[in-house]
Every structure is written in structure tokens, then in C-alpha cells.
Amino acid sequence: MLTIINANLITISQGNIENGKVVINNGKIIDLGADIIVPKESKVYDAKGRYVTPGLIDAHTHVGIHESGTGWEGSDGNESADPLTPFCSVRDGINMKDPAFESFRKSGITSVGILPGSTNILGGTGLALKCKDVVVDEAIIKDPVGMKVALGENPKKHYGEKRSPISRMANASMLRESLLKARQYLNKLELKNDVKRDPLSVALLPVIKKEIPLIIHCHRQDDIATAIRICKEFDVSYRLEHVTEGHMILELIKSENVHCCVGPCLQYGSKVENRNRDFKTAVVFEREGVSFCLTTDHPVVDGRNLMLTASIATQWGVSDEKAFESVTLAAAKHMGVAERVGSLEIGKDGDLVVWSGHPLEFTSFVDMTLIEGEVVYDRGIN
């Protein structure tokens, strides 16, 4: 049992608590507040007035599958021999010894979504895990969190010179046909037992049954609209990733109540489809009440800059409160893991970060990171 006392708690879900305490037992927050009693048997850590936030969360990364400093040998995020590989799972490509995980812990990131890349129209399933130094199977929060889909330039650039998809039309038609096949396959399964196994359709069954969402890479406004169109046609759940031009088709996004993972905003307009990359997307989304989290898309922007991304977002007009939420609770909601992580609440995991100064300040350090009550990084400041 551990109690952090004398902390300036930024709970995300219940405002800020000055001079607060958090009690963690068996990896879970069992109590928090200003006036709570420290259990006798508990170890005590004095935060000395420092800020404490929930562990940061980046819902869209490629940590462990696009490894830092290793070149092609450590690049396992795209099974780019075929545009339709829904049967792949990132879990089979994650190297937990990627140095980026250590860097994430130092940066206060405790949970990440790891997704296949965006070369394939159907790239495989992504998952949510803790940035713990353990084998991947022990770090999982939720697997799968969804099926990765990519629209726009990436699939057509990779495949287009030799085979389909050559155009955005084929990106859409190949996705449509796959979903149609899977739905028909499910219909057949319900009618008879001896249906010939179709690996693509099998992999898509959880999507058709609405057990997992499609997680759709889309930058340009028309790609976003295509994503929504197809998901509505097939009545499947979905989340949108990047959504660079989302603010340009605000009414559609609002009317469909879409949850968006916006970013990586720190990048430049590396492609035509993301030429309008800007923090404007986030600013407009906050103002208009669209649900969104911010992402680094590590390693596109290095994940250690997640909090920095939130800080810069405030410089362009996002509120401090929304900035905090966008790298914690909103990211947890985006992945459907908010019952465990994303805020300081009784019953949630004891994932906490102690900061040397205001967490949004560029020059503040992470002094200590805890995952499920265990110290996973300590800067050595008491």
C-alpha cells in the first residue's frame, strides 16, 4: 500500500485537489481527496506540493513495432505484401525492449494504443497496453481495441503502381467488399455448420458483430466522409484517426458524434492529404464539443513529446483543461479502457505521474512515474 500526500492533484474527472492524498493498494486507487485518512499500514510518499496527474495516454502509436534506432530490422508495423491483412495482430510484432518504452515511462506515459501502420486498407488489430517492462502478454489492458483501416494516400501509394488500390475509389471498394463478404460469411455461419473457412471474414467477424470498432486512418475531409459513409452502410462501430481536416466538415462529424484521435499536430504537412495539419483541428473541436484526444503517432512525432503537444495546443487556443484531458481520459475513452485508466478516481489503476512543476510548462520534468502503484521511473528527486 502506498499513499502520496501533499500533492496538487489534477484528477481530470473531478477537478483539481490542492494538498491532496491518493491511496493505492494492489495496484488500484482505493481513496483520494484532501481530507482522507492515511491508512496506518501504508507507505507514504510526500509530493511536497508538486503536481500529480494520471499517467498519460497516447491512443495511437507504433511503439515497439517501429522500434527506435534499429532501421528495417525493427520495423514490423505493416504486413505490406497485401492490402487486406485483417488477420494480423500487432501483439505479434511488439518488442517490449524498444528503448522508446523507457523513454515513454520517463515522459509520464503509462498506457498506449499500439496500432498496425496505414499501408494496408485492412491492417490488422490494435491493442492497448501498459508501458511496463514485462512481456507483452502481461502488459495488455485490452486486445483487440479495434481493426485498423487506412484510407487515402498510403494504400494507393504503396500498391498503386502494380495492383489495386490505385485510387481512393478502390480503397473504399476493397473495404466495402471485405465487410460485405464478412457479413455474408456470418449469415452463412448462422445457417449451417460446414462453411468453408475464410480467414479474412473470420478476422472481420468481431467488427460485423460490433464487438470491436474500425479504427480508421483518414486525413482529408473526403476520406473522413468516405469512412463515415462505409461505417454507416455496414452499421459498424468506428473511431477516426488523424482527422486532419475534420474541422472543415464539422457538421458531419458533429451529427455522427464521432470520437477522433487528432494528430500528430507537431509534424509538418508531409503529404498532400495532411497539408492542412494544424492545431486548428483541436481548437475547433473543443469549441464545437467534438470528442477528441491528441496523439503523437509515435515515431512520426516522438511519443516523449505527448505532453509537449498538449502544451503547444494551448498556445493555439485549446484550454488547459482540455489539453490535460486530451492526453489522458479522452485517449482512454477513445480506446474503450476508461474504466481502468485516464483519471484519478477510486477504483481505477494507480497510474500516476509526479511533476517537478506545472505539467504543461515546457521546462517541467517528470519526477516519478507509477504504473499500478509500482514506481517505473524515478528521477531521483525527493
Partner 1 sequence: MLMVKADIIYTVSGDPINNGMMLVDDRGKIEDIGVDLTVSENCEVLDISDKVIIPGLIDAHTHVGMWGDGEGRDSYDGNEYLRPITGEVRAIDGVNPMQVSFEGAREGGITTVQILPGSGNPIGGLGFACKTWGKVIDDMIIKDPTGLKGAMGENPKRTHGKGFGHTPISRMGVASMIRDYFEQAKEYGKKKNLANQKGEIFDLDLNLESGWMALERKIPFRIHAHRHDDILTAVRICEEFGLDYSIEHCTDGHLIGDHLGSKKITAMVGPGLSPSTKVETANFTDANPALLAEKGVNVCLITDHPFLNCRYFLTYGAVAHKYGFPFDETLRAMTLNPAKAIGIEERVGSLERGKDADFVVLSGKPFKYKSVIESTFIEGKQVWKRDII
Question: Which region among 114-122, 128-136, 210-218, 354-362 touches partner 1 (by CB under 8 A)?
Answer: 354-362
Distance set, CA 235 to CA 80, 213, 279, 355, 365 (Å): 28, 10, 31, 44, 45
276 binds partner 1 (CB under 8 A): yes
Question: How many CB atoms neighbour CB 283 within 10 A?
Answer: 18
Question: Which region among 31-39, 249-257, 269-277, 328-336 touches partner 1 (by CB under 8 A)?
Answer: 269-277
Min CB(61)–partner 1 separation in Å: 11
Question: Which region among 20-28, 209-217, 270-278, 344-352 touches partner 1 (by CB under 8 A)?
Answer: 270-278
Which one of 33, 160, 317, 336 is in contact with partner 1 (CB under 8 A)? Answer: 317
Min CB(219)–partner 1 separation in Å: 11
Question: Which region among 78-86, 194-202, 204-212, 263-271 touches partner 1 (by CB under 8 A)?
Answer: 263-271
Which among 14, 16, 19 is positioned nearest to 38, based on CA atoms?
A: 19
How many residues bind partner 1 (CB under 8 A)? The answer is: 39
275 binds partner 1 (CB under 8 A): yes
* Chain position carrying cell 490535460: 324
Distance CA 237, CA 224 (A): 15
Which one of 138, 177, 339, 361 is in contact with partner 1 (CB under 8 A)? Answer: 361
173 binds partner 1 (CB under 8 A): no
Cell of 342: 485516464
Contact 3/25 with Cβ under 8 angstroms? no
Strands in 122-130's sheet, in edge-to-edge order, are 56-61, 109-114, 122-130, 140-150, 214-218, 238-242, 260-262, 292-294
What is the Rg, in whole angstroms, of the alpha carbon atoms belonging to the chain?
21
Question: Which region among 11-19, 52-60, 262-270, 328-336 touches partner 1 (by CB under 8 A)?
Answer: 262-270
Distance CA 169, CA 198 (A): 24
Which one of 37, 272, 346, 381 is in contact with partner 1 (CB under 8 A)? Answer: 272
363 binds partner 1 (CB under 8 A): yes
Min CB(6)–partner 1 separation in Å: 24
289 binds partner 1 (CB under 8 A): no
Alpha carbon 264 to its chain centroid, in Å, reads 12
308 binds partner 1 (CB under 8 A): yes
What is the DSSP code (8-state) at residue 39? P
Q: Name residues whose C-beta falls within 8 Å of residue 272's C-beta, 6 or more positions apart in sequence.
A: 153
Distance CA 191, CA 25 (A): 50
Which one of 28, 142, 188, 271 is in contact with partner 1 (CB under 8 A)? Answer: 271
167 binds partner 1 (CB under 8 A): no
- Name the site residues for partner 1 (rule: CB under 8 A): 68-71, 99-100, 266-272, 274-277, 280, 283-284, 298-302, 305, 308, 311-312, 314-317, 360-365
